[in-house]
Amino acid sequence: MEALKVSYASSEEEGDDDIETVPSKKPKLEENGLKDTIALPPPPPDLLVLPSNSAYKNGDSGNRIRSFPHVEGNYALHVYIPAYLKNNDGAQVHAPHLAKQYHISLSRTVAIRVHQIDSIVAMLRHKLHSQKRYWIEFGKWEVFINDDQTRSFLAMEVTTGGLSEISKQVHVVDEIFRLHNLPEFYKNPRPHISVAWGLGDITLTLKQTADELNRLKGNVGSTKKSIWSYMFNGIECKIGQQTYSIYKGSIV
């Protein structure tokens, strides 16, 4: 499948920069709210068991590569939607191939100065304080790679529900970044959760894994359209080692 390079950050640690390559076919945007949407259970752990390869890492572990040089007084900033995989009974999933916490990026990981922190956090909270709940649906497995081709990623991609809402949130964050002379998010973002990654360009290997997982999903039943879905319930901002709650929905 032909690929189209799209830059975009997916980071939990200071200086991470997961800029990905995605297929050229764009997913159809849908104004998909709560109506006619069914909550699906999280992907079973056995779907995330990757080929036996020491290069594969969980989504929240491994050697991190700084996307920009460390400068005294600079802090890494990243805005994202947190997501937690849970069992049907609501218990946190703990499995060898599952990270404890995932996220969908709403911004790049960028460097800011200490005097910008209060202003950025205040504006994010003001502009994003009122959000409606909506379902985020992950329709397929996909492969991404960062710009430096130092890391490749296996991810669940949002292909239907939630695309329109996430795009609007990205637009709001972009406006705030522009006011602070910060780089905006990349064009044509492809919302996703990175589940696992490997060092270097191993996209061909990961693509085989993604194709197999997509085949397994298709064999589950003709009525199953998503790998997993969950209710949007918050936005967070990580600056350095501190996490700020930007928006927090009600507990579901």
Output 141 or 30, whichever has higher pLDDT.
141
Among 51-60, 112-121, 196-205, whose mean pLDDT is lowest?
51-60
- Provide the whole-model pTM: 0.71
Distance of CA 33 to the CA centre of its chain: 20
How high is the pLDDT of residue 110? 93
Model confidence at 40: pLDDT above 90: no
CA atoms of 245 and 48, how far apart (whole Å): 29
Average pLDDT, the chain: 74
- Taking alpha carbons only, the member of 119, 126, 110, 234 closest to residue 172 is 126
Among 101-105, 119-123, 181-185, 240-244, whose mean pLDDT is lowest?
101-105
* Highest averaged pLDDT of the listed ranges 16-30, 54-68, 136-150: 136-150
Q: What is the 3-state composition of the chain as percent helix, strand, coil, each rounded to the nearest 5?
A: 20, 30, 50
- Check residue 62 and give left, alpha or beta (phi > 0: left; psi -120 to 50: alpha): left
CA atoms of 72 and 212, how far apart (whole Å): 46
Percent of the chain with pLDDT over 70: 62
CA atoms of 241 and 236, how far apart (whole Å): 13
- Taking alpha carbons only, the member of 65, 47, 66, 77 closest to residue 195 is 47
pLDDT digit string (tens) for 181-200? 999 998 888 999 998 889 99
How high is the pLDDT of residue 188? 86
Q: Is 70 one of the annotated active-site residues of the chain?
A: no
Residue 57: band (very low, low, confident or very high) from pLDDT cuts 50, 70, 90:
low
How high is the pLDDT of residue 69? 63
Select which of 78, 94, 103, 115 is catalytic.
103
> How is residue 137 annotated by DSSP?
E
Output 230 or 80, whichever has higher pLDDT.
80
Model confidence at 248: pLDDT above 60: yes
CA atoms of 180 and 9, how far apart (whole Å): 18
Task: Give the torsion through C-alpha atoms of 119, 183, 237, 137, to 10 deg.
Answer: 140
Q: Is 103 one of the annotated active-site residues of the chain?
A: yes
Residue 164: band (very low, low, confident or very high) from pLDDT cuts 50, 70, 90:
very high
Residue 224: band (very low, low, confident or very high) from pLDDT cuts 50, 70, 90:
low
Placement of tokens 């999280």 in the chain: 42
CA atoms of 73 and 82, how far apart (whole Å): 27
CATH topology of domain 3-241: Cyclic Phosphodiesterase; Chain: A, (3.90.1140)
pLDDT digit string (tens) for 198-213? 999 999 999 999 999 9
Q: In this structure, what token pair is assigned to residue 5?
A: 């390079």
